[in-house]
Structures are given as structure tokens and as C-alpha cells.
Amino acid sequence: MAKKSTKQGAEGATKTQAATADGAAGQPREQRTAVTGSGGELHQSVDDGDVLTTAHGTPLSDNQNSLRAGQRGPTLLEDFAMREKIFHFDHERIPERVVHARGYGAHGTFETTADLSDITRAAIFATPGATTEAFVRFSTVAGAKGSFDLARDVRGFAVKLYTTEGNWDLVGNNIPVFFIQDAIKFPDLVHAVKEDPDRGFPQAQSAHDTFWDFVSFTPESIHMTLWQMSDRAIPRSFRFMEGFGVHTFRFVNADGKSTFVKFHWRPLQGLQSVLWNEAVKINGADPDFHRRDLWDAITAGDLPQWDLAVQVFDETFADEFDFDVLDATKLIPEELVPLRVVGRLTLDRVVDNDFAETEQVAFHTGNVPPGIDFSDDPLLQGRNFSYLDTQLSRLGTPNFTQLPVNAPRCPVAHFQRDGQMQTNVPMGQVNYEPNGFAGPQRGPRADAQAGFRSYAQSLDGEKGRVRSATFADHYSQARQFYVSQTPVEQDHIVKAYTFELSKCELPEVRSRILAHLLNVHEDLANAVAAGLGMPLPEPAIAAVEPRTDLAPSDALSILKKGPKSFAGRKLGVMVTDGTDAAVLQALREAVTQAGAVLETIAPVVGGVVLSDGSTLLADQMIDGGPSVLYDAVALLPSTAGAKWLAGRSTAKDFVADAFAHHKFIGYTTKAQPLLAAAGVADSIDAGCVKLTKSSAVKFIKTCGALRHWDREVQP
């Protein structure tokens, strides 16, 4: 919990200080050690006392009935209590983000693990072992705030690090490249992907004419659409995805020397995605799948972690590299510039209030501490303009920096004054500088040494609306991405393009995309054309000849970076009255030992009576706990239970889906009728494991592979 006190600074300027108090990792506030802030344990006025009051503090005598003239008479205008209550309610919403509206946040701690003082003067990278408070917001891009979590979409991965030299916002995505090269195209891109303005749909999806129409005329987008059509765009959880700063930034050291840098977040949990068919079903079964997953993991103490890694390179590399490092539609393969781990982020605390924190958090690419600076990437330059602007429109006042989630945790001293919702109370006569006052009235001064100094880059150029020829190759890295995938992943990319284009009603849009895909990889274009039942057009005219010699990079595949165990995953166990208590217990122990979670699914949520006579309360009822919510499943019904389940369509779907989604299925011999009813009995394969008390540990170990990919029909 941030304890914030606002007081007159010793020097006469406003000083806002906030300190972090200890809180047990992962616990919601009420379970953490009490800390006393200026307004009591919980924030501000709302929970200060036992007596209900108005916002102005007037104690109230009745919160159930408005003030009336007589028992059945009209409500009186003088009812200030009702008027104030409804007035506030009427204004509870603020504009949602124009992009990345649906998001979910958590608090964390960043630990520095490397001394980078030779290349950056940023204090956050000076001392290994030092920790910095952090706030992270994950998001989808296209959907509204109330849309579902498993849209096929890019995920935002925005990190605020409250450093001792001011907030550093690394506002990234889970995909290392972007759709466009120049910020001026962003409104067009977003208009194209969002719902059509006339009909107000389709929402939260790119599978429609306007998006692909835009892409078809914007070949620089093609590389990113390869990533977007890959399973990266349907992550299993926020915990199992990578993050990227995307742009090339600069590190600047104490001597003013600059080194280029790209930032990467690497999940220690490994990478994992769902299948498209699963995503579609999860959105119905649990639209909050990702936010629930993060909340559950953190509150259970299974704290997600990411390593922060950097790719650093100099001007010479930048000059010699095949592509322009200022072009955000390109990445630098790890094989060329290896990743160096410099810190670790641990998400250790869920939010106390979704609105106050996740909704009001305001990121800005321009928030950088001394030692971190910008490159001339035209997309980054445009972003630096955009984010302040959007905060004003969303939060309504330039004083949004005073909100607890946005307030720096280091001293703040300036002469900015007034504005709507000013919560600081600056003291004294002087609100400007230079001034000739002395002592406390004088206020702060810029510090030529400690202060932020922009990298002294020489600039020279003709003013003009131009695009460098070094940005012209739009296909080569798209091909490199495609050839770096496993056959299963390539097949998913083909299916995703086919699905998305099949939703385009204009055949010419599909055709133009096929023309681009021909420049990426002939196999890809052929497969998508076949899937659509359309002839292949002529290849699109490429500004520069696409290259076919870029070496595949394993780092671009998800499956090559999977987890090594079942840790952090979830097993769904179907139980009925009479379920073998010993097998269930053995499974539970194996799951706990693996650092995973076990949920039981029963005919009724009130529970079942196990074989040993004990009662088990269920986590889900069968109709509410489809197998898409689990990473692997186990079927432990009794003989009678299996017979009953065999007649339930939701139970049959549970098994059939688990099999179709290549999940590992543990089953006891008594489950046979259920397997048969689900149409799986004749297809038992190595991914289906017979369960006994003694095979539970082995089964959970097997589940560490997450899916039995052999079941996937190979392209």
C-alpha cells in the first residue's frame, strides 16, 4: 500500500512523497499487515468510520428510504443525501482507453540483477540487489472495457517502475514488432480494427473487412499480422507471455555516451497459448479468464515472474544490420544480438481497487529517468506526444500524476500549480523561478548534473514528409518468423488467416492479402488460398525483393520455449459420489508437489461423498466447469457416476473437448463409459494415462508437456 503525504517542501515548493509499506506478498489488503496512512488503514474517507456519512461527512440516519412527504407521498427536493449519492453514481465512469481499454493490473517488485553503470547512468541499473516498486497493466487492444479476455489480439504489457529518479514507463506489447512504421497511421489502423462505425460491430476482433482492407494497402503491417495470426495472440494467461518494449531506445551513461537498447520481458513460467477453438469457448465459459488467472495466482502466493533482458548494440551494428533499427516493424534476432538479463520482476500484490488503480493508471512513453532516452523511431516519437494527451482526456486534469497509482515514489518539487482536482496544498508566496527569495520560499532549481539531459545527438536533415528507403522491406522478416515455427505452429497460422479472411465479405480484400502472403512464403499462401477455396492472385508488387536467406530463429517459436513442468498450471478433476478417495488424494499431493492447482468438478457444487465416506465440496459444477478452463483433466467417477455422466452432454463435451484440445487425460477404469460416450474410447493414445494411486505422480509429470501434440492432425 502506498502511503502518501503531501506537504509543503522545505524549499517552499510542493513535495509529494510516498513510501511503500510492507505487505505480505499476494494478499489482498484486508489480509495484510495493517499500515497507517494519513487517512487510516483504508484509503481516504470511504472507510474511515463506522457511521455512514455523506461525502461531506454528515452522518446519515437512513440509507434505505428517500425523504418523502408522507408514507406514500412524493420525494422531496431537499433530500441532499439522495441527491449527492445519485449525483456521484451518475459520474462513476470515466472515458475508457481508446485502445487497450480492457486491461488488468497488479503491483510488483523489480529487482536489479546487473550493474549497467558503464552504459547507463539510470540509478535503477546501478546496484544489483536493489528493488523498485512496480505496477503492471496487461490488456487487449481492440475490444471495449467490457469485452472478453480471449480475443485474438495483441496484448499490452505496460510496466511502471517507480524509480528513485522518477517513474519509468515501459509501455510494451507481447509482440516485438508493430503494425505501422509512422505514428501518423495509428488512428487509421485503430479505426480499421475497431468496430465498424455504422453498425457498431464486430467488436474485439480483427476478423472483418475493414481491418484486412487496411492491411492489404499497408504492406508494412504484414510482418505483425504473422505474429497476430500465431498463437501469441491467444495466450493461455498473462503469466505465460513475453513482453517487448518494441522500439529501439537509448541507454546514456555518465559521460553522455549512447548505446542502443531493446527491452524484453521473459516469463519464468514459460510460454503457453490456447487453441483457437478453446479461446472461443473460454470466452463464453469465463470472459474474465485472464484476469481471474492473475488474481488467483497472486493471491495463492504463486507469484509470476519475468526477467528483464536487454539487447544492446552500437551505431556500427545499427549501420550494418539488414534492417533499420528505427523501424518498429522489425526485430533484431537474438542470434545476432543476444539477450542479457538485467533484472527480475515479481508480481506480488493484487490491486486493492480496480478503478482507483488499474483504470486510473496512466502510462506515458515519455516517462524515462536520466540514463534512458529515445531513438528517432517515428512511431516512438509519435507516442511520446500521444500519451499525455490521452490522459488529459481520460482523467480530466493535468493533476492525474497525484493519483496514488501514478504518483512517483521519489521527491517531487516543481512550480506547477492549480488545475482541476489539485490535491496538493503548495505553501508560500513564490510559484516561479528564477526568484530572488531565500530559505524555504526559494523553491527547487534544475540540477545540471543529476537532472535529465537528452542525448546530444546531431541532427541535420531536410524537412519533409518522407519514409526512409531503409524501411522498405516488408516481407523478409515475416518469412523468417514463419520458417522459425514448428509445423504445428505454422498450421495454426494458416488456420488463423483462413478463419479471419473467411469473415471478410469482400473477395478482393482476401485476394489482396493472399497476394502479400505469396511474398512471405508460398506454402503459407497456398494453404490459406486452399482453405478459402480461392485461386491465388499474382504476388503483390514488393518495394524491394523479399529475402529468403534469413536464418530461422528458435526464439520466435512458442513451443520451443514451453515450460519444463506443470507448475502454475491447473488440473480439472471430474468427481462423482463414490469417487475413489485414495486416487484423488494421490493426485492432489502430486499436483501440490508440482506447484500446480487442482480443481474438482462435480454434478453439483454442493459436493459429493467419496468412497471413504468423506464429503468433498466441489469447486465447479459440471455445467460451469468445462475442460477449456484447465490445462489437463482427470476423470475419477464411480461406476454409477460414469454411467450418469455418460448421459450428460456437458460431461461428454468436457471429455471430447479435452481430447480435441490435445490435453492430457488421466482416467480410472471406471471412467470407461464416459470415454465411450464422448467418442474417445477408441482413440486412447499416449496422452491418455490410466490413473491409479501409484501413477498419479507420473501423470502430473507427463502433464508438464501441456499438450499431446501428436494428436493434432498434421498439415
Residues that bind ligand HDE (CB under 6 A): 97-100, 103, 137, 139, 156, 158, 171-173, 178, 183, 186, 246, 328, 361, 363, 379, 382-383, 386-387, 390
Distance CA 252, CA 372 (A): 6
- Which amino acid appears at position 171 of this protein? V
Asked whether the CA dihedral 108, 113, 116, 117 is positive or negative, the reply is positive
Closest to 630 (Cα-Cα) out of 596, 673, 605, 593:
596
Distance CA 276, CA 229 (A): 10
CB nearer ligand HDE, residue 135 or residue 654: 135
Active-site residue, 283 included: no
Least distance (Å) between residue 702 CB and ligand HDE: 36
The answer to whether the CB of 98 falls within 8 A of the CB of 233 is no
Number of Cβ atoms within 10 Å of the Cβ of 689: 20
Least distance (Å) between residue 186 CB and ligand HDE: 4
Distance CA 625, CA 572 (A): 8
Distance CA 10, CA 148 (A): 49
Q: Integer distance in angstroms from the first to the last C-alpha of the chain?
A: 52
Numbers of helices and strands, H then E, in the chain? 17, 20
CB nearer ligand HDE, residue 103 or residue 546: 103
CB nearer ligand HDE, residue 466 or residue 541: 466
Kindly name the residue from 100, 208, 247, 521 that is annotated as catalytic: 100
Q: Which residue has the cell 488488468?
A: 104
Distance CA 140, CA 154 (A): 6
Least distance (Å) between residue 662 CB and ligand HDE: 31
CB nearer ligand HDE, residue 98 or residue 551: 98
Least distance (Å) between residue 192 CB and ligand HDE: 14
Kindly name the residue from 43, 107, 167, 173 that is annotated as catalytic: 173
Active-site residue, 208 included: no
Least distance (Å) between residue 261 CB and ligand HDE: 14
Secondary structure class of 382 (helix, strand, coil): helix
CB nearer ligand HDE, residue 382 or residue 552: 382
Distance CA 376, CA 339 (A): 22
Chain position whose Cβ is nearest to ligand HDE: 156
> Interior CA angle at 710 toward 706 and 713, to 5°?
120
Distance CA 707, CA 715 (A): 17
CB nearer ligand HDE, residue 246 or residue 622: 246
Number of Cβ atoms within 10 Å of the Cβ of 451: 10
Least distance (Å) between residue 161 CB and ligand HDE: 14
CB nearer ligand HDE, residue 190 or residue 582: 190
Question: Rounded to an integer, what is the distance from CA 602 to the centroid of its chain?
Answer: 32
Least distance (Å) between residue 577 CB and ligand HDE: 47
Answer whether the bond into residue 404 is a cis peptide, omega within 30°: no
Which residues have a catalytic role annotated?
A: 100, 173
